[in-house]
């Protein structure tokens, strides 16, 4: 089978491991990444029912430190980072002055005056430049692009905690969802974060690149009895869509505001200011004209990113993500539609290769994990 040339692509520390273990590799935003090992559906179901292992080391990291680090983070991100305790993380947005997305990200409070932000691989350079520019005037705060210091390994699924627990003396049951701690995993210094992009419980583990293969193999070994399997970006995408997590470049970008993306919960309205606040306040006062919704197909067909949402012959919106999902087993998706069509139960049409197929608005997320 032919493999595309990978000379100009960036490689994670696990690249050779993926290739040696049968992953199908694809170019993904400048990286040579595994899209699947044993099939998207198989990997998707493994994560929903047992556990899956992901190399997400392509994700970028930008750290902000200094006496005024909190002020800097408050200025550049939408969510209210003052609510973060040391050891806690949250989802947030890096906003343009228009209230649209430069990127979406996780903000980790490493210390009182030290934050780490995990950003999309496609946006690292853009984000870093934006951040440096935006925090210039803020006293003592400096930003560092520390992406090359971290490999990021995600263990996701109902069995994830048990697997990781075998390899660490840190009491993982004490780490709440969206909290993290530092410790050793399989003898390697690591940051263990109870976060993920799948809608399941699980951990994202930051390690030094030199330790990545050892930690990865130790995790697979520790998960052998529950059939932990390596997974690719294909399953990561279908899993995040079932969980209705937005994907930058598909569902959100610099043309969509955080309100239109139905993410008002990451807007810190009580902050005195942040980049984009004024525009967002105006938009809220004016009222939205369109909003992101979840939908299921009524007619047979699968809506995909870029398909038009139609009202008769007129294009009134756009599908941003869509697939047939392996667990929910429906053709689902997300789309921007006119505000009058956003109520659950409302039907609209999607132009799928020239044919108008009916879809119905449903409440998000499509999948919610059972909580014990």
Partner 1 sequence: MYPNDFKYTKDHEWVKVSGAEGQIGITDYAQKQLGDIVYLDLPEPGKVVKQGQVLGTVESVKAVSEIFSPVSGEVVRVNKDLADKPEKVNAAPHESWMVAVKLSNPAEVNTLLDATQYAELAK
Site for partner 1 in 27-56 (CB under 8 A): 35-36, 39-42, 44
Residue from the set 74, 128, 323, 334 that interacts with partner 1 by CB under 8 A: 323
| Sequence-distant (≥ 6) Cβ neighbours of residue 366 within 8 angstroms | 241, 242, 243, 244, 294, 296, 325, 328, 330, 332
How far is CA 56 from each of CA 22, 35, 120, 129, rounded to the nearest angstrom?
Answer: 17, 11, 10, 22
Our finding on whether 1 is near partner 1 (CB under 8 A) is yes
Q: Report CA Rg, the chain.
A: 21
Residue from the set 326, 334, 350, 367 that interacts with partner 1 by CB under 8 A: 326
CB of 85 to partner 1, least distance (A): 39
CB of 147 to partner 1, least distance (A): 26
Site for partner 1 in 281-310 (CB under 8 A): 300-302, 304
| Sequence-distant (≥ 6) Cβ neighbours of residue 356 within 8 angstroms | 310, 349, 350
Length of the chain: 372
| Sequence-distant (≥ 6) Cβ neighbours of residue 370 within 8 angstroms | none
Site for partner 1 in 96-115 (CB under 8 A): none
Smaller CB distance to partner 1: residue 138 or 332? 332
Our finding on whether 354 is near partner 1 (CB under 8 A) is no
CB of 167 to partner 1, least distance (A): 31
Our finding on whether 324 is near partner 1 (CB under 8 A) is yes
Is 259 within 8 Å of 95 (Cβ atoms)? no
Residue from the set 238, 256, 320, 321 that interacts with partner 1 by CB under 8 A: 238
Smaller CB distance to partner 1: residue 38 or 96? 38
Beta pairing class for 52-55 and 229-231? parallel
CB of 148 to partner 1, least distance (A): 29
H helix intervals, the chain: 15-20, 40-49, 69-76, 124-134, 160-165, 212-222, 233-242, 277-286
Residues lying near partner 1 in the complex (CB under 8 A): 1, 35-36, 39-42, 44, 234, 237-238, 300-302, 304, 323-326, 331, 353
């Amino acid at each position: 089978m032919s493999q595309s040339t990978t000379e100009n692509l960036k490689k994670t520390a696990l690249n050779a491991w993926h290739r040696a273990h049968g992953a199908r590799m694809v170019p993904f935003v400048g990286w040579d990444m595994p899209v699947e090992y044993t099939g998207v559906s198989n990997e998707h179901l493994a994560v929903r029912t047992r556990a899956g292992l992901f190399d997400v080391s392509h994700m970028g990291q930008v750290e902000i430190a200094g006496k005024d680090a909190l002020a800097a983070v408050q200025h550049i991100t939408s969510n209210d980072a003052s609510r973060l305790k040391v050891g806690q993380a949250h989802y947030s947005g890096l906003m343009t002055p228009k209230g649209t997305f430069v990127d979406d990200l996780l903000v980790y409070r490493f210390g009182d005056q030290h934050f780490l932000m995990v950003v999309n691989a496609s946006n690292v350079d853009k984000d870093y430049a934006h951040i440096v520019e935006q925090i210039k005037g803020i006293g003592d705060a400096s930003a560092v692009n520390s992406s090359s210091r971290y490999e990021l390994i995600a263990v996701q699924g109902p069995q994830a905690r048990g697997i990781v627990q075998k390899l660490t003396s840190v009491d993982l049951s004490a780490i709440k969802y969206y909290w993290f701690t530092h410790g050793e995993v399989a003898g390697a210094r690591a940051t263990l974060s109870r976060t993920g992009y799948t809608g399941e419980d699980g951990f994202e583990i930051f390690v030094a690149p030199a330790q990545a293969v050892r930690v990865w193999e130790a995790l697979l070994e520790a998960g052998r009895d529950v059939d932990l399997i390596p997974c690719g970006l294909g399953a990561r995408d279908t899993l995040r869509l079932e969980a209705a997590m937005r994907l930058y470049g598909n569902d959100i970008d610099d043309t969509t505001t955080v309100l239109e993306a139905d993410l008002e919960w990451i807007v810190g309205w009580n902050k005195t200011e942040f980049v984009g606040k004024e525009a967002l306040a105006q938009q809220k006062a004016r009222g939205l004209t369109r909003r992101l919704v979840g939908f299921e197909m009524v007619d047979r067909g699968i809506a995909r990113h870029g398909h038009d949402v139609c009202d008769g012959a007129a294009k009134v919106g756009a599908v941003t993500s869509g697939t047939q999902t392996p667990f929910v087993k429906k053709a689902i998706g997300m789309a921007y539609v006119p505000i009058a069509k956003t109520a659950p139960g409302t039907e609209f049409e999607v132009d799928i290769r020239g044919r108008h197929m009916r879809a119905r608005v449903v409440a998000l997320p499509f999948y919610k994990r059972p909580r014990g």
